[in-house]
C-alpha cells in the first residue's frame, strides 16, 4: 500500500514547476490527481498523461484562482471527475521582481489576488467539502521570503507572509473538524520561472551549506508527508526545505 493510495488530490498551478513535481509525486504515492492551470495548456495535458502512465486517474481544469465562480466550478469538476477531495495543495502563484518606487498598485493587487485571494478561495471550497466528511488535508506552498524578505520582492514576500498567517489561522479553525492545514516554505527552487539573474542564483547557491539550489523534486517529499497519515500530529506548521539557508 502506497502512502496516498487512492486519495483524491488537487494541485493548483499544477502543470509547471513545483506543482507539477508534487502532482507526479502524489501519483507515485498512489493518489489520483487533478490540477488547474491558466496558461501552458500543453503542459497540463502532458501532466495528465504522465499521471495516467503511473496507473492513476488524472484531470486538468482551466481555472483562474482569483475568480470566485471559476474556483467554485473547479471544485465541482474535480469532485465529479475524480471523487470527494482528500488533499488540496494551494500552489498557484506569481512572482514579481520590481523596486518599490516602480511598483504599481495594479502590480501589487495582481500578486495579492493570485497568491492570497486565490489561496483563500480554494481553501474555503475545500473546507466546505471536507468538513461534512470530518477529514482532509490542505497544504500551502509558502516561501522562505515570508521570513527573509528580499529587495525588489516586497509584494511577493508580503503575499507569502500573509499566506503563512492564513495557514495558521485555518489550522486552528479546521483542526476540530479533522482537517489539517500546513505549509511548505521552500528556499529558492530552480524552476526557470524566477526572475533572478543567473549570477544572483549562483551567488545564492554558493551561500547555502549544500552548495546548490533545489530542484522541484527536492521538496516533493515534504508535500507527500504532510498529505499522508504520518503527518497526523502536524497542525499549522510550515516545513522549510531550504538547503540550510535559514535554520530554525
The catalytic residue among 153, 156, 223, 248 is: 156
Under a CB-based contact definition with an 8 Å cutoff, are residues 62 and 37 in contact?
A: yes
- How far apart CA 156 and CA 154 sit, in angstroms, is 6
45: left (phi over 0), alpha (psi -120 to 50) or beta: alpha
Tell me, what DSSP letter sits at residue 184? E
Find cell 495579492 and name the residue.
Answer: 112
Please count the CA atoms within 13 angstroms of the CA of 218 that sit on its side-chain side.
Answer: 16
Catalytic site residue 223? no
Positive or negative CA dihedral for 73, 90, 164, 144?
negative
Give the catalytic positions in this structure: 156
Amino acid at each position: 500500500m502506497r502512502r496516498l493510495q487512492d486519495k483524491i488530490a488537487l494541485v493548483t498551478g499544477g502543470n509547471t514547476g513545483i506543482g507539477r513535481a508534487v502532482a507526479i509525486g502524489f501519483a507515485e504515492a498512489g493518489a489520483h490527481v487533478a490540477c488547474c492551470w491558466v496558461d501552458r495548456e500543453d503542459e497540463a495535458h502532458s501532466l495528465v498523461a504522465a499521471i495516467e502512465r503511473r496507473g492513476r486517474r488524472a484531470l486538468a481544469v482551466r481555472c483562474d484562482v482569483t475568480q470566485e465562480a471559476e474556483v467554485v466550478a473547479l471544485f465541482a469538476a474535480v469532485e465529479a471527475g475524480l471523487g470527494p477531495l482528500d488533499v488540496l495543495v494551494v500552489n498557484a502563484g506569481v512572482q514579481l521582481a520590481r523596486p518599490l518606487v516602480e511598483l504599481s498598485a495594479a502590480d501589487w493587487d495582481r500578486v495579492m489576488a493570485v497568491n492570497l485571494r486565490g489561496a483563500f478561495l480554494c481553501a474555503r471550497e475545500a473546507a466546505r467539502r471536507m468538513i461534512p466528511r470530518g477529514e482532509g488535508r490542505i497544504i500551502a506552498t509558502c516561501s522562505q521570503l515570508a521570513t527573509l524578505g528580499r529587495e525588489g520582492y516586497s509584494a511577493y514576500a508580503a503575499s507569502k507572509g500573509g499566506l503563512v498567517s492564513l495557514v495558521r489561522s485555518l489550522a486552528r479553525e479546521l483542526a476540530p473538524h479533522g482537517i489539517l492545514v500546513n505549509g511548505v516554505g521552500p528556499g529558492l527552487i530552480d524552476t526557470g520561472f524566477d526572475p533572478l539573474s543567473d549570477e544572483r542564483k549562483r551567488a545564492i547557491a554558493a551561500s547555502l551549506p549544500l552548495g546548490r539550489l533545489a530542484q522541484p523534486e527536492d521538496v516533493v517529499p515534504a508535500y507527500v508527508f504532510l498529505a499522508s497519515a504520518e503527518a497526523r500530529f502536524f497542525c499549522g506548521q510550515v516545513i522549510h526545505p531550504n538547503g540550510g539557508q535559514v535554520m530554525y
